[in-house]
Chains A and B, each alone.
Chain A
Amino acid sequence: MSSNLMVVQSDPRDAGSQRCRLGPELMMKLGLNIVDHVKLSLGHSELLCKAWPRQDLAEGILQADQFVYREVDKRYVAEKFINENCVEKVEVGKLLRADIAVVVAGGLNNAVVKDKSLLEAYIGQKLLNVAVFRNCTVSYANKSSLDNIAYVLVRDVECADSEQCAGYITKKTEFNVLEVIRLEQYNQRQQSSGISLGALQRQATVLKEAISLPLMYPQTFHKLCINRPMGVLLLGPPGVGKTSLVRTVAAECHAHLVALNGPDVFGPHPGESEENLRRIFQEAVTISEEGPCVLFIDELDALCPKRGGSGKSQENRMVAQMLTLMDGHAGRGRLVVIAATNRPNAIDPALRRPGRFDKEVHVGVPNQQERREILQVVSRGMSLAEDVDLSRLAEMTPGYTGADLTAVCHLAAYSLLSRGQAEDKNPTQISMEALRKALTEIRPSALRGFDGTTEVSPVGWSAIGGLEEVKVKLQQAVVWPLLHTEAFARLGLPRPKGVLLYGPPGCCKTTLVRAVAGACHATFLAVSGAQVYSPFLGESEKTISQVFQRARATAPAIIFLDEIDSLVGKRGEGAQSGVQERVLSTLLNEMDGIGVEISRSGGSLKVAEGSSCTDEVEKKAVPVTNNNVLVVAATNRPDMLDSALLRPGRVDRTIYVPPPDLTARAEILRVHSCKMPLSQDVDIQELADRTSLYSGADLENLCREAAMQALQQEGLDTGEVRHVHFMAALQDTAPSLDEEELQQYQTLFSK
């Protein structure tokens, strides 16, 4: 029989003694004598200890000194109770030789640490009688000592008896110090080993080059007479992983990372902020003398905004100080400054020149392939059900950044947990359904808190009666280019840029677009006139161009402009103020792609004009379709639109949405009356016959009216709607369309 042991924090008096306190009866049971070595497997770490009886001789308690350990799995939370089987006796012999690394706090400048043989002798005495095994850590972290040695990392051991994997240190043990590490760097390595990057390889390569190339080939740099790169500026929307990219790269290059948070630097007194900045730079420079060092400035836009604007002298001084520091340390030492921002245009332009921030790296919103990689990384540790298809999930999440995807996975796991709690059973696997549900709850952060767009809830194709021809056309024009990009690229077919839906009012143009939004997994931005127009000069145009910027950042995307005639009318008509015209010209420019700006998505390979495009490049470039923005507009006054908007190249396809014909009307009536309890005598076909010139909205109204009639005539407790009621409703409602109008629509584009 084996019982559980309660794990208790070790006694401070035992610190450094490597003792593991056990009850005497347990020791007898396990056949242990005092100072016999035992191995404890505690889930998150393995400990090597010497068995001692407890002083109060109590059973059922385990008190182990965390002195020599090996971390197994950091995410594992330490448990309060462990099984006896976790305590295991090990044979330990004399140690002949050990390869070690030493972690030192507070500078590597003292004589003992500098002199390898002295350090080896010192460590030998310090660790006398301590038993160690391969890849273990000996921790002095909790004890303050003059020598500042925080950890001794044992990399490899060689015992007298080659079969044994652990040994205790005698006076004859030889030590070999492989490296001396600063404590800060060690802590960073411990932390950052947990971060893993999905995608972002391209950006990581650039950063690695900047950090490690000058270190690897100092001679070449000297010979070629080039300065080492000084600064790298990371640009990209929030949540795409700029900060974790820097941390990972720094850890991989074994560079020390000094983090500088923009807002942290500011002090209340004049001159204090500059002083802080100087101090941090100085610190980084000092560290860079010992090894490669990265100074990471997060949120650079807060630290160095554009000068001369609002006349805040403190910020101006700050920028000036920053420029001086960057110039002063350029190309010297092994310091690389990496800054990150999501508002590159708010940074003082003087910083963005070669010599200060030489390189600018765009970290864009991930495309489908990258999203898949991110999902794989995020869900690596999770247990997923078999029906989870990550590629499908990646397809469904345009515009989601790394942070969003992580949130989605976590939310799915949480919902599973809470459901498991309600049903009182242990949830085991995350299903596709849970992930889908989480997707609906988390909106991509790129679209969050953004003016000028409205929410549109997607509907299914089946909710629209009739209009089969239009549906097919719309699918060709909108869904195909987004879903089958390879086919378009293969035939050299340019993607349409704009689609215009026109037709009489009430013929479900808007609903059609909503169906499209549901059918292709693209970001859907609906622009409404109310939010675009603002009383301030220039604000409306800005909003439009921002919508396009967003859309490009989260490509593939559909921008939906409902009632476009009211948004942008014809130019040069009436005495209107120029706002509409300016919005129109902005829209035209944006559709032509002139306004391409900051938010270029990462991953696209640019090929210089005229240079031959190799096969490889082409292959890579095909799935990475950026600028994949489609404008879908709807109007019932196509004659009011500016002709410049309607030319091919802007709006390539115009689709006429006709009023419903006979069969379509029947279908629409069926769709709208499917929830009504219809009596047997209702003849939908006859109704459809008698409702020519009725639009879809009219038909919906007719159904509603008929139901009201039923309530009115039969009393409130009636159970069905009969044909008479429809007839009465037909009397009351009139068609909203007329022949003449329809004629106009049809002739408009048929020339």
Chain B
Amino acid sequence: MQAEILTKRQLKSAYVTVQKQTVRWKEIHGNSEQYVNSLCNLSEQLDSCEKVPDDLAAFLKDFPDLKIRLRAKLLEEMEKMVGKLRETLCSLQEVSNSVSRQYAASMHTYHTHAVELGIPKVVERSATEPSVADMLEWLGDIDRAVRELYLQKQFLLDTLSYDDTRQMQSLLKKWTQGSDLDTMVMGILAHLTFFLEDS
């Protein structure tokens, strides 16, 4: 009996954390979109700047290194934006890590009491309360989904190149892609409403 209570308590705290972290993820992600937007914007400016022919107008002769300066300026701005995005990435990693820790802790608690619990107990579910196996499974799913999303963002930043306009233009779409994490977690938490309320 002790084992079941302990496991469920751990699971409950894990899901509470997940709930908080999801909200945090959403917030961070929402904030990051503006950086991506401005990054796209800057890249477009850079592209336009590159396209200006060298012998365009007479007045450019007075400012011979205007183009180079402009380019340097734009690149500096872009660097700044990418720096911001890197910071975002760090916070997202924290979220991911905290979810992972909860999952690992829950698994650990289950494992220490696995023999005592036995399979029939683990798969037993009621109208108001999902089984332990279900909850562990969902927790695992959330953990994987969060890490996957985090990895995608990391990959995007790692492969970013300032001169590749086409890549830059599609960045926003790729960045927001798969942000249905929220829906997924909400769907799972809906199953757990009574379990989490019950103290």
Contact = CB atoms under 8 A, between A and B. Distances in A.
Interface of A: 13, 16-17, 19, 24-25, 27-28, 33-35, 52-53, 55, 57, 110-112, 118, 122, 125-126, 128, 145-147
A111 B159 contact: yes
B107 interface: yes
Contacts, number: 63
25 contacts: A13-B141, A17-B140, A17-B141, A19-B137, A24-B123, A27-B119, A28-B118, A33-B111, A33-B119, A34-B136, A35-B111, A35-B136, A52-B133, A53-B119, A53-B122, A53-B133, A57-B123, A110-B159, A122-B155, A125-B151, A125-B154, A146-B152, A146-B155, A147-B152, A147-B155
A112 B151 CA distance: 12
A395 B158 CA distance: 65
Residue from the set A27, A34, A53, A55 with the largest chain B CB neighbour count within 10 Å: A34
B141 A28 contact: no
A260 to B, nearest CB: 29
Contacts of A53: 119, 122-123, 133
Contacts of B100: 128
Interface string B130-166: 0001101100110010011001101110110100000
A128 B100 CA distance: 10
B49 to A, nearest CB: 24
Nearest to A125: B151
Interface residues of B, number: 30
B35 interface: no
B61 interface: no
B3 to A, nearest CB: 13
Nearest to B118: A28
B15 interface: no
Contacts of A24: 119-120, 123
B110 interface: yes
B158 A112 contact: yes
Contacts of B161: 111
Nearest to B174: A146
A145 B147 CA distance: 13
B114 interface: yes
A19 B140 CA distance: 11
A-B pairs, top 3 by smallest CB distance, nearest first, are A33-B114, A110-B159, A111-B159
Contacts of A16: 144
Given A17-B144, A35-B111, A147-B151, 6 more contacts: A34-B110, A34-B114, A35-B136, A111-B158, A122-B154, A122-B155
B97 to A, nearest CB: 10
B39 to A, nearest CB: 17
B94 to A, nearest CB: 14
A33 B136 CA distance: 12
B137 A145 contact: no
A17 B151 CA distance: 16
Contacts of A126: 151
A27 B151 CA distance: 34
B31 to A, nearest CB: 21
Nearest to B155: A147
Contact of A28 (B119, B140, B151, B174): B119
Contact of B158 (A13, A33, A57, A118): A118
A57 B121 CA distance: 12
B1 to A, nearest CB: 19
A57 B159 CA distance: 45
A110 to B, nearest CB: 5
A464 B92 CA distance: 95
B147 A125 contact: yes
B6 to A, nearest CB: 16
Contact of A34 (B133, B148, B155): B133
A57 B141 CA distance: 19
A406 to B, nearest CB: 46
A128 B111 CA distance: 19
Contacts of B158: 111-112, 118, 122
Contact of B156 (A17, A19, A34, A146): A146
A52 B134 CA distance: 10
B133 A122 contact: no
Nearest to A119: B158
Residue from the set B120, B140, B154, B155 with the largest chain A CB neighbour count within 10 Å: B155
Contacts of A118: 158
A145 B174 CA distance: 10
A112 B159 contact: yes
Interface string B71-111: 00000000000000000000000000000100000010011
Contacts of A122: 151, 154-155, 158
Contacts of B115: 33
Contacts of A28: 118-120
A53 B110 CA distance: 15
Contacts of B177: 146
A187 to B, nearest CB: 23
A35 B107 contact: yes
A54 to B, nearest CB: 9
Residue from the set B100, B111, B134, B137 with the largest chain A CB neighbour count within 10 Å: B137
A600 to B, nearest CB: 54
B111 A52 contact: no
Contacts of A110: 159
A313 to B, nearest CB: 39
B122 to A, nearest CB: 7
A19 B136 CA distance: 12
B102 to A, nearest CB: 14
A146 B156 CA distance: 8
A111 B107 CA distance: 36
Contacts of A25: 119
Contacts of B144: 16-17
Contacts of A55: 134, 137
Contacts of B137: 19, 52, 55
Contacts of A145: 148, 152
A686 B107 CA distance: 107
A125 B100 CA distance: 12
A17 B140 CA distance: 8
Nearest to B158: A112
A112 B155 contact: yes
B186 to A, nearest CB: 16
A33 B120 CA distance: 11
A244 to B, nearest CB: 39
A528 B54 CA distance: 82
Contacts of B107: 35
A145 to B, nearest CB: 7
Contacts of B174: 146
A146 B154 CA distance: 10
A118 B156 CA distance: 13
Residue from the set A24, A27, A52 with the largest chain B CB neighbour count within 10 Å: A24
